[in-house]
């Protein structure tokens, strides 16, 4: 969305059209309907685009999405509301009452700060995005200020804490791409790390951020939501918990469970295939806490360097997906397909680590049929490929 479209949208007529309860899979029909009613092309484009973004945004913001404005790029980078609420509670619990949210985007984290009673200065370098943040945060005024500015140019003297979400995508509002080099983030991460010397700082980064660049005095917390690792949060000063430098926060539905440690955990020893295979959550793998989970499950590594655990204890945890081993099957495609069909497996989940396989292509080539279901785990032990038929264990 460009400023001309946003200006057309931020009128009584534009907001009325947007707030009308309409939905259709036929966008062309909706555009024709609105144009036939006499609305300008700019307004129609803005309304239809926002309606589609609001529908997508419900996955991150729930019912709040129905009164918010978005850019496609802003929604892509926005923090999910339940995760933002955890960020806000950490600031509140540290006694921080005034937070400068630098790189606020469309205001997802700022909404959560406001929700726990924290005054917020929301800053974004993009004019359209800052205007949308102002609209989204309007119900929380006074106590909330939005500025169109670069993070580096903001005077932070009056703010006792900083939350920073640097831009990790190319400039623009649509069709942006992820920046692969952290030195290209805006503002630069090294500048952001420097802020930690003067005030408590929380910082959101992509989960694949180079671990060698994490400052030694930071608490690094990887967060996964329903099986997907969504962020790395770095915490400094009073926002970092004493004695914790590595954390994996696993959110599934309405529950959240966390694994913490003072440092990376050494892996457990490898062992022979047992009765169970455990696949650690992505946040646990990123935090390098597989060893902590393995010891709790009385399990060993299935193979050194590959993130599968195996053991005989009939236990599981929130930090893994557990599979009961049914049998080891042939690696040969023809023999594997024959074995699965003889067991009448028509629905097959395929998991893989350490092997170059496209699950979708393999599933098609296996020509499955039958009423049964199962999980196929493809991996390797050293140079030897291993194919295991298993059943997922409910938590």
- In terms of domains, do 35 and 130 share one? no
Both 62 and 190 in one domain: the answer is: no
- Domain-ending residue, one of 261, 280, 299: 261
Q: What is the pLDDT of residues 16-67, one digit of tens each?
A: 888 775 555 555 666 677 777 767 778 888 888 888 899 899 999 999 998 9
| Same domain as 30, residue 87 | no
Question: Average pLDDT of 374-391?
Answer: 96
CA gap 377, 379 in Å, rounded: 7
- Pure H helices in the chain: 3-9, 12-19, 27-36, 41-61, 72-77, 81-93, 108-115, 127-137, 189-195, 282-287, 290-296, 333-342, 359-366
Task: Indicate which CATH number applies to the domain containing 134.
Answer: 3.40.50.150
Domain boundary, last residue among 32, 55, 70: 70
Domain of 18? 3-70
In this predicted structure, the answer to whether residue 251 has a pLDDT above a threshold of 90 is yes
Specify the pLDDT at position 191.
Answer: 92
Residue 363 lies in a domain: no
The confidence score (pLDDT) of residue 46 equals: 81
Whether residue 162 is contained in a domain is answered as yes
Q: Quick one: average pLDDT of 230-255?
A: 96
pLDDT given at position 299 = 98
The whole-number pLDDT of residue 364 equals 94
* Planar angle of CA 130, 135, 141, nearest 5 degrees: 105
- For residue 132 the two structure tokens come to 């949308």
48 and 106 together in one domain = no
For residue 105, the model assigns a pLDDT of: 94
252 and 122, same domain (yes or no): yes
What pLDDT score does 179 carry? Answer: 58
What are the E-state strand segments in 201-344?
201-205, 219-225, 228-236, 246-252, 255-261, 276-280, 300-303, 306-311, 320-328
Same domain for 105 and 9, yes or no, is: no
Residues 85, 65 share a domain: no
**What is the percent of the chain where pLDDT is above 70?**
92
* Mean pLDDT on 189-193: 91
Q: Are residues 66 and 133 in the same domain?
A: no
Give the integer Cα–Cα distance in Å for 30 and 302.
55
Instruction: Say whether both 89 and 210 belong to one domain.
Output: yes
228 inside domain: yes
Give the pLDDT confidence of 259-303 residue by residue, as tens digits.
999 999 999 999 999 999 999 999 999 999 999 999 999 999 999
Q: Are residues 114 and 167 in the same domain?
A: yes
Q: What is the pLDDT of residue 300?
A: 98
Is there a domain that residue 45 lies in? yes
Q: What is the pLDDT of residue 282?
A: 98
Query: Using one digit for the tens of pLDDT, what is the confidence trace for 195-221?
Result: 999 999 999 999 999 999 999 999 999
Query: With the CA atoms of 63, 93, 203 and 117 taken in that order, what torsion angle do they form, in degrees rounded to the nearest 10?
Result: 50
Digit-coded pLDDT (tens) for 133-159: 999 999 987 889 999 999 999 999 999
Of 240, 261, 282, the residue that ends a domain is 261
In which band, very low, low, confident or very high, does the pLDDT at 177 lie, cut at 50, 70 and 90? low
In a domain, 33, yes or no: yes
- Separation CA 391–CA 322 (nearest Å): 9
pLDDT value, residue 249:
98
Q: Over the stretch 326-353, which tens digit does the pLDDT of each residue have?
A: 999 999 999 999 999 999 999 999 999 9
Q: Is residue 375 part of a domain?
A: no
Q: What is the pLDDT of residues 60-114, one digit of tens each?
A: 999 999 899 999 989 998 999 999 999 999 999 999 999 999 999 999 999 999 9
Taking only the tens place, the pLDDT of each residue in 311-333 is 999 999 999 999 999 999 999 99
Residue 316 lies in a domain: no
Same domain, 147 and 234: yes
**Helix, strand, coil percentages for the chain (3-state, nearest 5):** 35, 30, 35
Residue with the larger pLDDT of the pair 257 and 40: 257
DSSP state, residue 116: T
Asked if residue 366 belongs to a domain, the reply is no
**E strand or H helix at 121:** strand 119-124
Whether 105 and 249 map to the same domain: the answer is yes
- Count: domains in the chain: 2
* 15 compared with 325, residue with greater pLDDT: 325
């Amino acid at each position: 969305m460009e400023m001309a479209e946003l200006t057309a949208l931020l009128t009584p007529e534009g907001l009325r059209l947007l707030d009308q309860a309409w939905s259709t899979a036929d966008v062309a029909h909706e555009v024709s309907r609105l144009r036939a009613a006499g609305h300008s092309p700019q307004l129609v484009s803005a309304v239809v685009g926002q309606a589609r973004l609001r529908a997508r945004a419900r996955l991150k913001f729930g019912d709040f999405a129905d009164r918010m404005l978005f850019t496609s790029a802003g929604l892509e980078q926005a923090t999910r509301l339940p995760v933002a609420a955890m960020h806000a509670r950490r600031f509140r619990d540290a006694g921080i009452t005034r937070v400068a949210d630098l790189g606020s985007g469309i205001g997802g984290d700022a909404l959560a700060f406001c929700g726990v009673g924290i005054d917020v200065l929301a800053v974004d370098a993009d004019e359209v995005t800052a205007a949308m943040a102002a609209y989204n945060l309007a119900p929380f005024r006074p106590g909330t200020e939005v500025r169109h500015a670069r993070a580096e140019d903001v005077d932070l003297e009056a703010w006792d804490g900083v939350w920073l979400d640097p831009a990790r995508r190319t400039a623009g509002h649509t069709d942006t791409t992820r920046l692969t080099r952290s030195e290209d983030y805006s503002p630069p991460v090294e500048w952001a790390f420097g802020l930690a010397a003067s005030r408590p700082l929380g910082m959101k980064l992509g989960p694949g951020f180079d671990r060698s660049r994490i400052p030694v005095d930071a608490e690094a917390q990887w967060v996964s939501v329903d099986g997907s690792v969504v962020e790395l949060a770095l915490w400094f000063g009073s926002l970092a918990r004493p004695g914790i430098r590595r954390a994996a926060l696993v959110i599934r539905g309405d529950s959240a469970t966390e694994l913490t440690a003072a440092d990376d955990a050494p892996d457990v020893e490898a062992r022979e295939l047992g009765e169970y295979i455990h696949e650690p959550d992505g946040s646990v793998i990123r935090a390098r806490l597989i060893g902590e989970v393995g010891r709790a499950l009385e399990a060993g590594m299935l193979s050194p360097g590959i993130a599968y655990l195996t053991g005989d204890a009939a236990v599981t945890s929130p930090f893994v997906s557990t599979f009961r081993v049914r049998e080891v099957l042939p690696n040969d495609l023809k023999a594997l397909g024959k074995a699965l069909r003889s067991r009448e497996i028509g629905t097959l989940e395929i998991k893989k680590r350490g092997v170059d396989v496209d699950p979708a292509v393999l599933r098609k080539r296996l020509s499955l049929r039958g009423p049964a279901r199962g999980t196929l785990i493809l991996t390797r032990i050293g140079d030897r490929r291993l194919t295991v038929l298993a059943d997922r264990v409910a938590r």
